[in-house]
Amino acid sequence: MMFLKIHSSYRSVVALVDSELLGKRFEEGKRQVEIKEGFFKGEEVDREKALFVLASQLREDATFNIVGLEAIQCAIEVGVIDEDSVITIQGVPFALKLL
């Protein structure tokens, strides 16, 4: 399961994270990511719902903040990101897509 939250601004910002990572912080060298509930905790979704929403938001030119193996796999599957754009921080995959 994953948490999915869409923040509305001049452009939607989609936050998708593997559920077990919520509330944790990862740091490696100069890179760090904190999985804050205020940003990431939205609706808990399964893979099918995540794929649907990612594909829909991709067509709307949203930006994306994706953390965790399952979330990253979904984002790659629908074409939000490619494997080359994924970094890892303490073994946790992370990707941003900004337009």
Task: Give the span between the Cα atoms of 4 and 66, in whole angstroms.
Answer: 10
CATH architecture of 2-97: 2-Layer Sandwich (3.30)
Q: Are 59 and 25 in contact (CB under 8 A)?
A: no
Checking if the pLDDT of 99 tops 80, the result is no
Taking the whole predicted model, whether its pTM rises above 0.85 is answered as: yes
Is the sign of the CA dihedral 7, 63, 41, 39 positive or negative?
negative
Given this model, what pLDDT does residue 9 score? 84
Q: pLDDT tens digits, residue range 6-29? A: 999 888 999 999 999 999 999 999
In angstroms, the CA 86 to CA 96 distance is: 8
Cα 47 from Cα 71, distance rounded (Å): 8
